[in-house]
Amino acid sequence: MLATLLPVDSFTVVALVATFVLAAIGLHFTLGLLGVVNMVHGEFILIGAFATYQVQDSLGSPTWGFVIAPIVAGLFGAFVEIVLVRRLYLRPLDTLLVTFGLSLIIRQGVQLIYSPNPKQVDDPIGGSFLVAGYNVPWWRLTVVIAAIVLVAAWLLFDRTTIGLRWRAAVRNPELAEAMGYSVRTARTWLFAIGCATAGLAGAMLAPINTLTPQYGLRFLVNSFLVVILGKPGSLRGLAIAAVVLGGSLGVLQFHVSTVYAQMIMLVIAVVAARLRPLVTAKRS
């Protein structure tokens, strides 16, 4: 009945929205909270994906890769923050240049190690089931659940003492230092968490995508659109923006080609970004 009423596969649209959330949530920490123009975000997704592939290649199963990938990405993210980003928080153009250069290095490194040939991570669950006439793959359902759990977990974390201290350290570093909070430590943790979350996204999305050294680029633009449109620093805004952009792209892809769907989605993003300040001003 539902399949005849709706012109699109509803679960496919939901899964695409979850993909937008997973890909963008790491950027919520590095760009939304820390203000770092993080052009290497896509490459942390790439690191998570290829870490999972390496685990599969070594152990014959990708299962442990979903645990190892965020750890590897998070540790590397902490290293990047301490060595490269820490001195550039007040110089956004420099962070853009540094992270862009690092993204090129990582992509070339992955290509040298794994070659440009496509790789594939196995679906650790496999199979699907029918709901209201729709075919729902188990792993895509897992991706949707993971996106919901991550957003809920970070919303709850924002209300904890540590979460409040970290946000205070980012928003008012002078006052935080005066109260005895370590701004450097907070920034390192937030950057590392953002990178670890990106690594987890890369691992979770790897079984439903083909892996190449350009894998992270396909998520970079959409992640920036979601974070900026949703208001940097707002997880609720990120989730809403992901629903708007991911949902519109998912619906459009059933009616026009993917290229035209992405173009229309960009127009929607531009119009929404233009209208948001007007709506905010009326509410205030």
Percent share of the chain, pLDDT over 90: 50
Nearest to 246 by CA among 50, 53, 17, 44: 17
Which CATH number describes the domain made up of 2-283?
1.10.3470
pLDDT of residue 106: 96
pLDDT of residue 50: 97
pLDDT of residue 224: 92
C-alpha distances in Å from residue 233, one per residue of 10, 34, 134, 222 = 29, 9, 36, 16
pLDDT of residue 233: 79
Task: Give Dmax over CA atoms of the chain in angstroms.
Answer: 62
Contact 207, 137 (CB under 8 A): no
pLDDT of residue 128: 79
Contact 264, 248 (CB under 8 A): yes
Which residue numbers in the chain have pLDDT < 70? 1-9, 276-284
Residue 137: both structure tokens together: 């793959």
Backbone angles phi, psi at 254, to 5 degrees: -80, -10
pLDDT of residue 273: 75
Give the span between the Cα atoms of 200 and 169, in whole angstroms. 26
Quick one: three-class SS letters along 99-164? HHHHHHHHHHHHHHHHCCCCECCCCCCCCEEEECCEEEEHHHHHHHHHHHHHHHHHHHHCCCHHHH
pLDDT of residue 277: 58
Backbone angles phi, psi at 129, to 5 degrees: -145, 160
Beta-bridged to residue 136, according to DSSP, are: 129
Q: What angle do CA 32, 15, 1 make, to 5 degrees?
A: 140
Give the span between the Cα atoms of 200 and 202, in whole angstroms. 5
Give the span between the Cα atoms of 283 and 277, in whole angstroms. 10
pLDDT of residue 269: 81
Beta-bridged to residue 128, according to DSSP, are: 137
Residue-wise pLDDT for 6-30, tens only, equals 444 677 788 889 999 999 999 999 9
